[in-house]
Amino acid sequence: MSQQDDSQYQLETLAIRTGHTRSFEGEHAEPIFLTSSFVYENAAEAAAKFSGQEPGNIYSRFTNPTVAMFEKRLAAIDGAERAVATSSGMAAIMAVAMSFLKTGDHVICSRAVFGSTIAMFEKYVAKFGVGVTFVDLTDLNAWENAIKPETKLLFVESPSNPLSEIADIQALSDLAHANGALLAIDNSFCTPALQQPIKFGADLVVYSATKYLDGQGRALGGAVVGNNKLLEEVFGYVRTTGPSMSPFNAWVFLKGLETLRLRMREHSASAQKLAEFLNAHPKVEKVYYAGLPEHVGHELAAKQQTGFGGIVSFEAKGGREGAWKVIDNTQFISITGNLGDAKSTITHPATTTHGKLSPEAKEAAGIREGLIRVSVGLEDIDDIIADISRGLDLI
């Protein structure tokens, strides 16, 4: 299916059909081109390809047919002109920084982003003389007050991890554009199946494909999505410096996209049921899930998202002891820091993903000792609820 046809199709169709290029064997499934380089009929063809006069593949650090299929499909379902695949989610975020920032520039980033994103800006991007200010993602005044003449990038993750706070994407894109900056969103939690940030004015969308785009915990990858002009910069950076996606991983993600909408719907429906169950449970202090009407971000999430996603966090009574009781009494839910998998996972943020924060920083970020994060998988929801209840009933 060619790019021109895309507008007439819905996301489910695009996610299964876009970008498929058959080889001369006429195979039905997408082929994996496990090759580092490509050969030519003669010297003239090689010269034409290398000079860019003729389109075509040269070397898989630059382009690869399987990776290109994944990129086309992801861009189509995100309603974007182009995507560039990367070797991991962090490689995608670094590609944004390296493509659009230079010495003297300034970034505003929401405080509740993925831990490595914070470290990347503070430790590595800062080495090149780029300043960063961290703000509360829901506080528009804080974003506005942090703007400086040299601000070039606003970076946000919404919904946030683990508390499901929601950023107003349209308001942030208006603010960025009024000040000559770009807005980049880490959309790994919602995926294009639940949120298309470009519709609300975001310039760049980044993914850890490792999470829901794969959905079965098999491979590391990432992507940057946006318009042709911005993505040409990102492509130049990736092809030159090398954080390219492997063709095998691209194939895994390509097949992942085919079931993305179905999976995200099921993750969301199950997460909603779990959140409602926990909300009514006497041993639970508080539930953080934007699908609950009393969540502060509920209305905004309902406006920008078509589902509330698969991540539910809650505070068990009894602090750390209570939380660990719940975690340790599960029978099949995986105790791990990872998320976005068919397998449900359970995490104690205060001692794992956010364990390095000082007690004050944890308090400021709302990471209490009783907090538990569940990535609701695709197992039967009644089984998931029973697995989490076992420990709750012992508190």
Work out how close the CB of 13 gets to ligand PLP at its nearest, in angstroms, rounded to a whole number. Answer: 27
In the complex with ligand PLP, which residue's Cβ is closer, 90 or 326?
90
Nearer to ligand PLP among residue 129 and residue 355 (C-beta): 355
Residues 153/184, Cβ–Cβ less than 8 Å: yes
Coil vs helix vs strand at 91: helix
Are 346 and 372 in contact by the 8 Å Cβ rule? The answer is yes
Question: Which parts of 75-134 interact with ligand PLP (CB under 6 A)?
Answer: 88-90, 114
Shortest CB 283 distance to ligand PLP, Å: 28
Q: CA angle, corner 376, sides to 91 and 261, nearest 5?
A: 70
Q: How far is CA 149 from CA 121, 152, 154, 201, in A?
A: 19, 8, 13, 21
What Å distances lie between residue 283 and 293, 319, 367, 392, 393, CA to CA? 20, 11, 18, 6, 8
Among 157, 165, 214, 369, binds ligand PLP (CB under 6 A): 157
Three-state DSSP state, 250: helix
Residue ranges in 165-224 that form contacts with ligand PLP under rule CB under 6 A: 186, 188-189, 208, 210-211, 220, 222
Contact criterion met (CB below 8 Å) for 371 and 339: no
Q: Which residue has the tokens 């001369």?
A: 24
Q: Does residue 310 touch ligand PLP according to CB under 6 A? A: no
Residue 75 or 185 having the CB closest to ligand PLP: 185
To ligand PLP, the closest distance from the beta carbon of 58 in angstroms equals 27
What is the nearest approach in angstroms of ligand PLP to the Cβ of residue 202?
15
What's the closest the beta carbon of residue 159 comes to ligand PLP, in angstroms?
10
Q: Which residue is nearest to ligand PLP (CB)?
A: 89
Size of site (CB under 6 A) for ligand PLP: 13
Tokens found for residue 334: 């995986």
Give 71 or 186: the residue with its C-beta nearer to ligand PLP.
Answer: 186
Q: Which CB atom, from 223 or from 384, has the smaller least distance to ligand PLP?
A: 223
Q: List C-alpha distances in Å: 12 to 15, 32, 74, 249.
A: 5, 22, 12, 21
189 vs 251 by CB, closer to ligand PLP = 189
Closest CB 90 distance from ligand PLP, rounded Å:
4
Among residues 364, 19, 353, the alpha carbon closest in space to that of 162 is found at: 353
Q: Which two tokens stand for residue 222?
A: 């990432």
Q: Would you say how long the chain is, in residues?
A: 395
C-alpha span between 46 and 52 (Å, rounded) = 10
Q: Whose Cβ is closer to ligand PLP: residue 214's or residue 369's? A: 214
Structure tokens at 186: 């880490």
Name the minimum Å distance from CB 187 to ligand PLP. Answer: 8
Using an 8 Å Cβ cutoff, are 366 and 160 in contact? Answer: no
Q: What is the dihedral of CA 152, 154, 155, 161, to 10 degrees?
A: 160
Q: Which is nearer to ligand PLP, 245 or 323 (CB)?
A: 245
Judged by CB, which is closer to ligand PLP: 64, or 191?
191
Q: How far is the CB of 336 from ligand PLP (least distance, A)?
A: 12
Beta bridge partners of 151: 106
Q: How far is the CB of 158 from ligand PLP (least distance, A)?
A: 10
Residues that bind ligand PLP (CB under 6 A): 88-90, 114, 157, 186, 188-189, 208, 210-211, 220, 222
